[in-house]
Amino acid sequence: MIRLAIQKSGRLSEDSLNLIRECGINFVASSYKLKTEATNFPLEILYLRDDDIPGYVQDGVADLGIVGQNVLVEAGYPALEIEALGFSKCRLSLAVPRAAGYDSVADLQGKNIATSYPAILGKYLAEHGVQANLHTISGSVEIAPSIGLAEAICDIVSSGSTLLGNGLREVETVFRSEAVLIANQNLSEEKREILEQLQFRMQAVRRARR
């Protein structure tokens, strides 16, 4: 039996469940339960908040997980990634108020930037030789400039309409992300074999979708 953690409810949930089902794995999904056992494959599914998934897989509470690379890298466990899954594509971008002048990332020197991704943003700014004050907030990052909390933000963007609605303009792409399969690095021989079968099926599903 192998244990796979997926997001309980959110943008990753439906595509994660669909992928497992398309692998021919049957289970009864329940929004009340924390876990489900598949009926025709040695798999147990755990439903968690996406932010908790990397740590649980690192610690071996779950053997496998499906999570966005943004959350995985921010948590500090990029080495757990074993396969990109091609869904939940998004980017982490810097944005400034539409009226503010902006030429390059150097303009952010000494500025206050609100983000839920201080680790990824901090690394990006350091690579560009920029020092800024990062304010870590967990949600509604895009309203920070309008309430005077920050002169810029760094947040997940897919269409850009949320930015537009808050009078912001996307100025730099900091990180590109998609959903990935992650695995604990000390799986037993038995679990590694189950993982191999699972990956084989996932790859077949992805080939069939193309």
155, 93 Cβ separation under 8 angstroms: yes
Q: Does 11 bind ligand ATP (CB under 6 A)?
A: yes
158, 141 Cβ separation under 8 angstroms: no
With CB under 5 to 8 Å by kind, the binding choice for 123 among Zn ion, ligand ATP, none is none
Among 19, 23, 38, 88, interactor with ligand ATP by CB under 6 A: 88
Tokens coding 72: 């995985």
Q: Does 93 bind ligand ATP (CB under 6 A)?
A: no
| Tokens 């000494």 -> residue | 110
Amino acid at position 99, single letter: A
Amino acid at position 57, single letter: V
Q: Does 51 bind ligand ATP (CB under 6 A)?
A: yes
Q: Among 37, 16, 39, which residue's Cα sits nearest to residue 181? A: 16
Among 3, 38, 50, 108, interactor with Zn ion by CB under 5 A: 50
Interface segment toward ligand ATP; rule CB under 6 A; list 6-14, 39-47, 128-136, 200-208: 6-14
Q: Among 48, 49, 42, which residue's Cα sits nearest to residue 23? A: 42
With CB under 5 to 8 Å by kind, the binding choice for 151 among ligand ATP, Zn ion, none is none
Please report, as ranges, the residues that interact with Zn ion according to CB under 5 A.
50-51
Please report, as ranges, the residues that interact with ligand ATP according to CB under 6 A.
7, 10-12, 49-51, 68, 70-71, 88, 90, 156, 158, 177
